[in-house]
Structure formats: C-alpha cells, structure tokens
Amino acid sequence: MNAPAMTVESGAASPAGFVPVSPALQRPALFARRKYWAERFGVAPVLPMSRAEMDALGWDSCDVILVTGDAYVDHPSFGMALVGRLLEAQGFRVGIIAQPDWRSAEPFRALGRPTVMWGVTAGNMDSMVNRYTSDRRLRHDDAYTPGGAGGRRPDRAVIVYAQRCREAFEDVPIVLGGIEASLRRIAHYDYWSDKVRRSILMDAKADLLVYGNGERAIVEIAHRLAAGDAIDRIRDVRGTAFGRPAGDRPDGWTEIDSRQVDTPGPVAPAPDPYAEMPAAGCAPATPGASVVPASGLRPRGDRARTVIRLPDADAVAADPVLYAHASRTLHVEANPGNARALVQRHGDRDLWLNPPPLPLPTADLDRLYELPYTRRPHPSYGDAKIPAYDMIRFSVTIMRGCFGGCTFCSITEHEGRVIQNRSEDSVLREIGRVRDTVPGWSGVISDIGGPTANMYRLACKDPRVEAACRLPSCVYPSICSNLNTDHSALVQLYRKARAIPGVKKVFVASGVRYDLASTSPDYVRELATHHVGGYLKIAPEHTEEGPLSLMLKPGIGTFEKFKRLFNEASEKAGKKQYLIPYFIASHPGTTDRDMLALALWLKKNRYRADQVQTFLPSPMATATAMYHTGQNTLHRVRRGAPSVAVPKGAKARRLHKAFLRYHDPANWPLLRQALRRMGRADLIGNGPQHLVPLRQPSAAGGAAPAAGRPFRTQHAR
C-alpha cells in the first residue's frame, strides 16, 4: 500500500481535524498489498478442512485457520468462505475448522498450528439467536448445519471457540469477527441471561476483535502479523477493538467523558444528535462553508486523536440510565466519516474501539465477490442438505449496508448505513457463473438484492453532508431531501439480468423498502411485472404511531400507497399477486391497545398472519437498549424522563402475539379476557364487526366462524 492510503486507513495516523469529505474519496484499495510468499501454492479447489487435504495441496501448515460455527459452504454469503478466499487472494494458506466439537481442544489441533493467526466466528448468526427462540426456547434445528440438525454449536460460540484455540496453541494470536463478535463488542444487554455482559473480547480473552465489514482490517492484521509485528502492537486499524491497561491513554490523545457530549441528567439540554430534521431534510453544503454535523454538535479538536470514554462496564450493568446513555453514544459515533474512538473500562482493563471501517468501493467489492468460490458445500458433507445453502445458492448479492436505521435491526450497526454497490457487469458475470456451475440450475435466480432489495446505488446527494451526518436514518420521519432515490440503475440491472441467455426468471424475494419504492412508480411496475413469484414479503411492522416511532418505520399510510401502486401494476400485467406483510409483536413502545388496533386492521384487510415475529432483543440494537432500560435512546437520555412502554414477561408477550393471530381459536380465551379488561367487550361476538367469537368451537370439531381470507393485493382496496 502506498503511504497516503495507509494514513487514511490507520486510525492513529488519520489527518488531523474533522474531514468534511466523503469516505468514498479516501478508501485504500483492498487488493493493493504485495502478496504473502505462500502465494506460490496457488488457489485451492476448496479451502482444506483436514490434514489429508493440506497434504494434497503440498502444505505443511496453514497460515490462518478460521474456526466457524457454520458448516463450510464455499459461497460469498457465508462469512468464513468470503474471509478465507480473501486471505487466500492475499497469498495466505487458509484452513477451515467448521462446527468443531468444542468439548475439548483436540479438534482444534486437526490442521496443526497456524503460523500467523486464528480467526474465530460463531457463523452467520449470533449463536444465541441461532439456538433460542424469542421465548427463550431451545431450537431443535439449525439451518447452517448439514441435515438442519441442532446442537452442533455451543452457546456463546465465540467465547468457547476462542478458549479452545488458546488451549490448542497458546502462543497463536486470536482474532474474533463475524456477527456475534461485532454486536457484542462493548458491554451489552444479553436477553437470554437477562443481564448486562462484558465485551465478548474480554470474556473470550482474545487479542483483537474485528467488527463491521472486516475485510480491510483482517487483511491488514494478517499481513502485519506475517511481517513480524506483535499482536499487541496492532492498535491503529479501523473497525477493531482491543484491550489495554486501564487508564493507559496513548500520547497525544484527548479523552472526553461521554457525559460531556450527551449528559444523562436533568440539566440544560445539549444539542440532540437525533433531533428530527426540518421537513427540507439535511441542508446542502455550501462550497467554502464549514461543515457542521447534522446533529448540531461541532467537533472538538483533532477527531482522529480524540477518544470518548463511556461509563464503565460495571456502571452500565448497575444503572439502566447509564446503559441507555452508553448505547446512544455508540450509535451516534457510527458514521465512519466523523466517528471518534470509544473506550470503556472493564475492571483493570480498558476496552478500546477504533472508529468504524470505511466502506468498500465498487472495484474492491466486485473483486471480493468474484473470488474463486465453488458456490457449494465442502465435499466432505456429501449429499447432506444444508438449509441455509439451499435458500441462497441461486441468489446474488448486489449491495451492502442499509440507511433505514430500524431500531430492532442490527444491519446498520454491522454493515453500516453507507450503501456499498457492486458494478452491473460484476453482478451479470456472477449470474452467468451461477447458471454454468451451480448444480440444480433451473433458470431461476431466487433473489437479487442484499440487506434491502432496492437501495442499490442510492446515496446522499452531497458527500460532505454524508460525512457529517449523525442521524440514525435517512428515511425517517420522512425521506431526506438530500437522499437520491433514483431507482433507474436498479431497473436497468433487472432488465439486463433477465436478458441473460438461460435465465428464465429473476426474483426479488423480500427486503423491498416500500417507502423508497413508492417514490419510483417505474420501479414498482418493473418489480410487479417481472420479479415477483406470486407473493412479495413486505415489512410494515405495525400500524400505530407509538411503536412505529420507536422503530423508525413510516406510518401505515406509506404501506397503503405502495400497495395501491403494486396492485395497479399487477393488474396491468395480468397477474394475481399478493403482498405478505410482516408485523412485530411486543416491540418497545407497544401497548395492548396498539396491538388491538393492529388486530382490527388485519381483520379489516382480511389478513391472517400465520408466521408471527415476536420482538427479540438482539445484542446492541437500539430497541434492545429500550427494552432493557425503558429509556428512549433516540433522544437525549435524562433521568426522570417518561419511560417507554416495554412489554416484558411471558404473559404480556403471549397476549401481543395472540392479537396478531386473532383468528386462531387457541388464542380466543386469552383475547376475550383482555378485551373485557380493556373495556372492549363490544368486540366479542359472532358478527362481522367482532374480533373474536363469544364461544369456543365444540370439542367435536365444530367449525369456528370464519375470520377472513388471506390478504390479497388484488382485492384489498
């Protein structure tokens, strides 16, 4: 890498002061380094999982061994395959230990001692989310395991795997990564133990943690370790966290107490980083004018050498207000264009978090997704079905990131809100490879998209504002006027994709952001005419302002607008197509009356929800902080502020779920009881105006009164 690129990537050497330019202009190339000497071994047909495979490749050792809680599928949708092939492209010999028996260290010695480092991840999901339902019940299946069998990974897999790696080869550096590590990087509320846990880095006793899109970080770490750097000297890489002796602040750094930035007390209000924008949206930057973050907070001194101290791990565990404050500060400091380093004490150690990684440019993202993946499971699995692979093997990723900012979702916290796009040519080449190489090809691309289906090439119109903005969402409370919502590039991509010889259909299975889609009737027509297989999943999440305002989701009227456009386009295309709206029960801010209103809306629109999502407080999500603390962290946290309604406990969550499934006879006794308590007994009866019938169906199997038919976009007006 050349020197200028290094100064931008390394946090400690970044240019002084706030830099009012888009990070897109400062991205170091991912593939610019000189390759490691082991490049001479060439590309492995598949990354080895055994010594026999290593021998066949002529390897005496692996440079990097990646340990994962998922089965090894050599496909870019599987994190360890993507990281493994990336490190291979850098010249390293990479081995995979997938779903090892964690009860001893012996399986972790299977490939010998890695010469450079261990890479440890729980897999594509947090292990607790993977193993338990929102009701804390053990799941008996696992989509990332051959045969879908459950029980092949431990609880808190990152911690367990890291400990076994240390037992296997004590002196080898351990680097954590993936979703579980990323979203548990600071002291965090853990739903399954119902307590605040320390940073996973501290509990795993690992050397470094890579969070977010970690490609640049993992490449730099691997090369520096291979060149002889000690792991405890690698402290300047963006998107990493590490431990250091408490109070040991580097020379030349300024430390700010987070409570000076956003005071959690009954004092004069500080500028609100999450204050609602004027209707006009972000003010465009004037050439030559100083750029101030959209929050109104002016940067203090040299941002590149400023660290914000969060309340200690013990303090946030003991005080919900301080927890809410720390969570809010973390989310405010999330834009890679202006984020500062964070530090949080854990006992006698400080957890140090460098600023988030810079987004990858299109050229790097293209090359990353076009590495020589086999796009199939490792041959050792034979004919065993891996459900997660079956779901994505004919899908194509076209972008990363999400600027929606939904508080219950962690996509933004992990992938960032700056959209990272692949080029049109790269996507079309991948579709051709799927057609030519993936077994079972029938001419259908099952899904084309990413975290969202229709944010491809959408971005802030002004890169200076993008680099300065601290708002959590570009589309709430309304779509920012500074946001480009032109869907024409995506429409063009769709048309070229379905014109590829051998391609019969290209589906958009889910993830359509309907408020954005509604700004482009041409996109909705293209979608409905060519890319829906009868049903399209949409996520309005709720109908009532209370929960929607805490989700950062638009009102139900926006959904109705999209529905009208979709219906009209489907009818014009001569197709009977249906929207499948998804809703969340028991989200923070939701009352019993909110759920009743949602149930009445469902009945009015003749919709029966078969699959119901109950809010699951996943690590680090903003809504999880609300769930744990009862504080609205979208605004300045203040002691004595009105609390957020949080449905907790099995009874409350069961009732909210029952409202979503008002048509299920098993829920009628609970709903009758609740309706009487709420003074709405008028909704109990056998008429069309009633929500639930007066009596249960007979034990002999008498039919219950019909509760309506599925929500059909052709007939719901």
User: pLDDT tens digit string along 502-533?
Assistant: 999 999 987 899 999 999 999 999 999 999 99
- Residue 396's beta-bridge partner residues? 448
Residue 23: what pLDDT? 42
* Cα–Cα distance measured from residue 152 to residue 129, given in angstroms and rounded to the nearest whole number: 14
**Phi and psi for 630 in degrees, rounded to 5?**
75, 15
| Residue whose tokens read 């055994």 | 50
In the prediction, which pLDDT does 301 show? Answer: 54
DSSP summary character for residue 268: S
**How many secondary structure helices (H) and strands (E) does the chain include?**
25, 21
Average of per-residue pLDDT across 336-356: 96
Task: List, in sequence order, every residue forming a beta bridge with 237; answer none if it has no partner.
Answer: 10
The backbone region for 503, taken as left when phi is positive above 0, alpha when psi lies in -120 to 50, beta otherwise, is beta
DSSP string, 11-59: GGGSPSS---S-GGGGPPPTT-SPPPGGGGG---SS---SHHHHHHHT-
Q: What DSSP assignment string belongs to 542-608?
A: -SSHHHHHHHT---HHHHHHHHHHHHHHHHHTT---EEEEEEEES-TT--HHHHHHHHHHHHHTT--
User: What sign for the dihedral angle of Cα 517, 521, 522, 527?
Assistant: positive
pLDDT at position 178 is 96
Of 6-10, 509-513, 521-525, 618-622, give the lowest mean pLDDT range.
Answer: 6-10
pLDDT (0 to 100) of residue 174: 98
Banded model confidence at residue 265, pLDDT cuts 50, 70, 90: low
Q: Are 75 and 389 in contact (CB under 8 A)?
A: yes
pLDDT at 435 over 60: yes
The amino acid sitting at 221 is: I
Higher pLDDT residue, 284 or 57?
57
Please give the Cα distance from 119 to 209 (Å, whole number). Answer: 10
DSSP summary character for residue 304:
G
- pLDDT at residue 71 greater than cutoff 60: yes
The pTM is what? Answer: 0.90
- The answer to whether 9 touches 15, Cβ cutoff 8 Å, is no
**Over residues 490-502, mean pLDDT:** 98
Average pLDDT rounded to a whole number, residues 447-469:
95
Distance (Å, whole) CA 10 – CA 143: 37
C-alpha distances (whole Å) from 236 to each of 182, 244, 362, 368, 418 are 18, 13, 25, 24, 22
Residue 642: phi and psi, rounded to 5, are -55, 140
**Per-residue confidence (pLDDT) for residue 590, from 0 to 100:** 98
Interacting residues of 565 by C-beta distance below 8 A, sequence separation 6+: 517, 518, 521, 524, 525
Q: Is the pLDDT higher at 16 or at 60?
A: 60
- Work out the burial of residue 225: count CB atoms within 10 Å of its CB; fewer than 13 is exposed, 13-18 middle, 19 or more buried: buried
Judged against a pLDDT cut of 70, whether residue 136 lies above it is answered with: yes
Residue 539, pLDDT above cutoff 50: yes
Query: How would you write 481-544 as a 3-class SS string?
Result: CCECCCCHHHHHHHHHHHCCCCCCEECCCCCCCHHHHCCCHHHHHHHHHHCCCCEEEEEEECCC
Q: What's the whole-number mean pLDDT along residues 690-712? A: 63
The mean pLDDT value of the chain amounts to 89
pLDDT of residue 411: 87
Q: Regarding predicted confidence, which is higher, 608 or 455?
A: 455
> Which of 658, 676, 584, 679 is closest to 623 using CA atoms?
584
Cα dihedral angle (600, 606, 611, 617), rounded to 10 degrees? -30
pLDDT one-digit tens code per residue, 285-301: 333 333 323 333 334 45
What is the per-residue DSSP string for 415-440? H-SS-EE--HHHHHHHHHHHHHHSTT
State pLDDT tens for residues 164-176. Answer: 999 999 999 999 9
Range with the largest mean pLDDT of 270-279, 282-291, 572-581: 572-581
pLDDT for position 271: 40
Residue 3 has pLDDT above 70, yes or no: no
Per mean pLDDT, which range of 62-66, 106-110, 193-197, 637-641 is the poorest?
637-641
Phi, psi values for residue 175, rounded to 5°: -115, 125
- Which fold would CATH assign to domain 38-240? Rossmann fold (3.40.50)
Using an 8 Å Cβ cutoff, are 329 and 342 in contact? yes
pLDDT for 412 equals: 83
Residue with tokens 């190489």, as numbered in its chain:
437
β partners of residue 96: 66
Please tell me the least confidently modeled range out of 139-148, 462-471, 700-709. Answer: 700-709
- The upper half-sphere exposure of residue 309, i.e. CA atoms within 13 Å in the direction of its Cβ, equals 16
The pLDDT value given to residue 270: 39
Per the model's pLDDT, the better-predicted residue between 159 and 612 turns out to be 159
Q: Given pLDDT bands bounded at 50, 70 and 90, which one contains residue 250?
A: confident
How high is the pLDDT of residue 410? 86
Q: Identify the residue with better confidence: 711 or 641.
A: 641
- For residue 183, the SS3 value is helix
Distance CA 630, CA 265 (A): 15
pLDDT at 372 over 60: yes
Q: Span 263-281, mean pLDDT? A: 44
Q: Where are the domains of the chain?
A: 38-240
pLDDT at residue 21 greater than cutoff 50 = no
The pLDDT of 522-545, averaged and rounded, is: 96
Do residues 599 and 691 touch, judged by C-beta distance below 8 A? yes
The answer to whether 550 touches 697, Cβ cutoff 8 Å, is no
Per-residue pLDDT at 701 exceeds 70: no
Q: How far apart are CA 192 and CA 617, in angstroms?
A: 9
The pLDDT value given to residue 699: 62
Q: Provide the phi-psi class of 143: left if phi over 0, else alpha when psi is between -120 and 50, else beta.
A: alpha
